Amino acid sequence: MILQSLAAVLQPLTIILVAVGTVIGIIFGSIPGLTATMAIVMFLPATYSMSATQGISMLMALYIGGISGGLISAILLNIPGTPSSVATCFDGSPMANKGEAGKALGTGVVFSFFGTLIGIAILVCLTPMLCQFALKFQSYEYCALAIFSLSMVIALTGHDMAKGLISAVLGALLATVGLAPIDSRPRFTFGLFQLNNGFSLVVLLIGLFAIAEVMNFAETVRQKQNYTIRENVKIKGCGFTMREFIGQIPNMLVSALIGIGIGILPGIGGGVSCMISYTVSKNTSKHRELYGTGIMDGVVASETANNATIGGAMIPLLSLGIPGDAVTAMLLGGLQVHNVAPGPLIYEKNGMVVYAIFFAMILASIFMLIFMLLGMRFFVKVLRVPKNYLLPIVLVLCGIGAIGNANAIFDTYAMVAFGLMSYLLIKSKIPTVPMILGFILGPMFEQNLRRSSQLISSDPIMSHPIFLVFMVATVFVVIFSVRANKKEAKQAREAEEKAAAEANQQS
């Protein structure tokens, strides 16, 4: 099966699709405001008529390219191309200011490559083990897993727990539309047959992310953009010496492990992992005072971690069907389109696709390394692509994606409605990522809760230790996050009061 998957990925058409996906991913990652999620949203309809292996290989290439491309604008413009590259700005941009743009870019590219490879290695090792473990799960365990995952999402996304919870509950509430699990009775369909199957995950994601992103750009139309692009960039070799590379290996390994660990946790992605690994790298360094002045250690920490997050986020997606962040939620939609059901039985039912994903990820990483080292000048030029022309085309492609999902125009209406909802939620400071997790975990929770209610008389809860572990972990997460939330709120209030006092003094 492994060789069959390798042969499928090494088909000329699949190689071309992975190469094209990587280039487009890098372009989307490099342009601030466009993300890997949007690249996947845009190209999902193009994969509808492809085989599962080809389609998912292309989506994986878009993902890896999209996360890696963010370093270009982070270093050259001091604006992160994607949220995953926020910490790359801290040292990448000062390096560019010192005339070391080539070295910063080379470091970012090479360590992104190694970060991705370490992530893939852990993914390949951990996924079968987690699948094996998850085979022991019955309805009690799945129910507890859904509750635990939701608690993690709410605890880790944003400063405002109440709003995170509202978002997750809204997602779960949207998932109740359609035929009920187990008894298949219609709920909240208002007599519309189009709603019998409920809302599609892909349509929800397009509305939440693509439309909201375009609207965010629309808000800035009248604002002047004042940044200059350094176009004269040369990378000699990899941009750094072998000695420098060897010196960065411990930093790379620690950052990769942080990235993978954060990727596995639901609800948080590369944006958090790069910040945490940068902070850890800085705090454990012998020359921490140099961080932020333009040293390669900071770029290594950030770029290794955000790319290692890719492998980490794929682990719960493939083995449990729980996405780690927005991009993996989109990939879950892509897998569903191609009738691949992630979960503990994925190796038995779609083993070939799983191995193809691993091979496609390795191939995309190699393409990313080659294209970014050799074609940096091209990607720098792409930063000039006018977004007022690009975004309408993205929205048209999103519309095609929504129509093609179930060959129904109705889904485009839902897409616009979700887009409007997303825009209003963002304006109310309600995060949208928990909503996706609520939408995915809600049905899982309901189905297994109702099944458990049938079993409870014959199969006592106390005979399910995994269930009990998840519930105890949930209690800990809730207590920890409530405490952290209170502390953060107190700090924010104090900072606000301090700022108000300073303003009063000045006036």
The contact set with another protein (CB under 8 A) reads: 45-46, 48-49, 162-163, 165-166, 169-170, 172-173, 176, 180-183, 185-188, 211, 214-215, 217-219, 221-222, 387-389, 391-393, 395-397, 399-400, 403-404, 407, 409, 412-413, 415-416, 419-420, 423-425, 427-430, 442, 445-446, 449-451, 453-454, 456, 496, 500
Which residue's CB is nearer to another protein, number 139 or number 328?
139
Which residue's CB is nearer to another protein, number 232 or number 428?
428
Which residue's CB is nearer to another protein, number 2 or number 162?
162
Contacts of residue 243, Cβ cutoff 8 Å, sequence gap at least 6: none
CA dist 350 and 53 (Å) reads 10
- Phi and psi for 186 in degrees, rounded to 5? -70, 140
**Cα–Cα separations (whole angstroms), residue 480 to 18, 142, 332, 484:** 42, 23, 30, 6
Which residue's CB is nearer to another protein, number 55 or number 80?
55
Taking the complex as a whole, how short is the minimal distance between the CB of residue 212 and another protein, in angstroms?
10
CB 220 within 8 A of CB 213: no
- Phi and psi for 228 in degrees, rounded to 5? -110, 145
Q: Of the candidates 264, 258, 351, 354, which has an alpha carbon nearest to the alpha carbon of residue 306?
A: 258
CB 389 within 8 A of CB 154: no
Q: Where are the alpha helices (DSSP H) in 1-51?
A: 2-9, 12-30, 36-47
Which residue's CB is nearer to another protein, number 294 or number 334?
334
**Cα–Cα separations (whole angstroms), residue 423 to 62, 207, 340, 418:** 25, 9, 31, 9
Taking the complex as a whole, how short is the minimal distance between the CB of residue 400 and another protein, in angstroms?
5
Taking the complex as a whole, how short is the minimal distance between the CB of residue 430 and another protein, in angstroms?
7
Question: In what helix (H) or strand (E) does residue 351 lie, and over which residues does it extend?
Answer: helix 346-374
Q: Of the candidates 82, 85, 83, which has an alpha carbon nearest to the alpha carbon of residue 104?
A: 85
CA dist 273 and 308 (Å) reads 9
Report helix, strand or coil for 240: coil
Which residue's CB is nearer to another protein, number 91 or number 213?
213
Taking the complex as a whole, how short is the minimal distance between the CB of residue 458 and another protein, in angstroms?
12
Taking the complex as a whole, how short is the minimal distance between the CB of residue 501 and another protein, in angstroms?
11
Taking the complex as a whole, how short is the minimal distance between the CB of residue 344 and another protein, in angstroms?
23
Taking the complex as a whole, how short is the minimal distance between the CB of residue 439 and another protein, in angstroms?
11
Which residue's CB is nearer to another protein, number 379 or number 423?
423
Taking the complex as a whole, how short is the minimal distance between the CB of residue 310 and another protein, in angstroms?
27
HSE-CB at 404 with a 13 A cutoff on CA atoms is 21
Which residue's CB is nearer to another protein, number 83 or number 442?
442
